[in-house]
């Protein structure tokens, strides 16, 4: 019998990943209630004053927030200051993983393969050597592939669209495009879940649209990756989870080249929790359904606080 903890789910927020966050929050709410928890949901865009009043009546907070204000350490620092237990990595780990440039240096310093990268702005992007070959351009802080450009053929680059995006950011991260199989490994507690192999629609990318339109195949267990490489990727994801200070959950994206090299792309500290999301799918493959998943996360948060 689950102890009757009261849980406050935070969902929505004001980032450009708001809609996905609302869906994650609803999936979490349903799973918590299926366990018998007493659950309320709050949208942080409605302000901190109301949130202050809610915290006193709950045992633990479950942030299901994606993007700015959710994964960047802001809400975590606020909850830490209030002394309230919460699900997922703390403010320092969240801040590190959200800043893709700082994160890249962290990964490189630990001797993991990582795509070559540089910080660029609209005045110097086309002077950078990385823009002469296949490349990826993405926000330094952000997720869900919003404002991410994957350019396989530089001569066919939509320069205007890229420069328009660069107008919205002080800097963006330019990286070499690593060709291979896209994979992701989620960590739950201190355990690496089964790898997920990501197969976008033919001749398309795993972009924002294809993440959520149901057209991308997410194979768990993978069909095109050997057991040894799967285990290596799981070990890498677990080591990164620990070295960045993550707790509770994370999800690390890795490209595996045809030569069997593993390139680390990024680590998400609050992965999607919708019915289409990769962490719940990996957990399901490990025999952990959504109610059990949220129960593990709640218990982990309470144990960390005790």
Catalytic residues, by residue number, are 17, 144, 212, 251, 253, 266, 268, 272
Alpha-carbon separation of residue 138 from 21, 53, 100, 147, 175 (angstroms): 20, 37, 9, 6, 8
To which H or E segment does residue 120 belong?
Answer: strand 117-120
**Which tokens belong to 113?**
């393969």
- Closest by CA to 188, choosing from 246, 272, 140, 137, is 246
| Cα 229 from Cα 110, distance rounded (Å) | 19
Q: How far apart are the first and last CA of the chain?
A: 20
241 contact partners, CB below 8 Å, separation of at least 6: 187, 250, 252, 267
Q: Cis peptide before 221, with omega less than 30 degrees from 0?
A: yes
The DSSP secondary-structure symbol of 38 reads E
Encoded tokens for 149: 């450009």
Residue 49 near residue 206, CB atoms below 8 Å: no
Going by C-beta distance under 8 Å and a sequence separation of 6 or more, which residues neighbour residue 83? none
């Amino acid at each position: 019998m689950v102890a009757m903890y009261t849980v406050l789910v935070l969902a929505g927020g004001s980032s450009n990943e708001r809609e996905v966050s609302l869906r994650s929050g609803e999936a979490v709410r349903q799973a918590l209630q299926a366990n018998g928890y007493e659950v309320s949901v709050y949208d942080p865009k409605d302000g901190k004053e109301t949130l202050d009043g809610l915290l006193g009546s709950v045992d633990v907070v479950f942030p299901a927030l994606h993007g700015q204000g959710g994964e960047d350490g802001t809400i975590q620092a606020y909850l830490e200051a209030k002394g309230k237990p919460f699900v997922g990595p703390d403010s320092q780990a969240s801040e590190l993983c959200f800043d893709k440039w700082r994160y890249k240096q962290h990964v490189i310093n630990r001797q993991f393969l990582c795509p070559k990268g540089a910080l660029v702005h609209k005045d110097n992007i086309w002077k950078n050597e990385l823009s002469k070959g296949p490349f990826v351009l993405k926000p330094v802080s952000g997720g869900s592939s919003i404002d991410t450009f994957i350019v396989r053929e530089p001569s066919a680059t939509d320069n205007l669209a890229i420069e328009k995006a660069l107008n919205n950011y002080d800097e963006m991260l330019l990286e070499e495009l690593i060709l291979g199989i896209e994979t992701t490994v989620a960590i739950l507690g201190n355990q690496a879940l089964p790898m997920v192999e990501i197969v976008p629609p033919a001749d398309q990318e795993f972009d924002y649209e294809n993440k959520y339109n149901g057209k991308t195949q997410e194979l768990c267990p993978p069909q095109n990756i050997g057991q040894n490489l799967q285990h290596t990727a799981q070990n890498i994801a677990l080591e990164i989870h620990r070295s960045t200070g993550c707790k509770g959950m994370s999800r690390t994206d890795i490209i595996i080249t045809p030569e069997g090299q593993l390139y680390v792309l990024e680590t998400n500290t609050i992965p999607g929790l919708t019915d289409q999301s990769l962490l719940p799918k990996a957990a399901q493959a490990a025999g952990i359904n959504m109610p059990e998943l949220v129960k593990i996360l709640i218990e982990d948060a309470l144990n960390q606080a005790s």
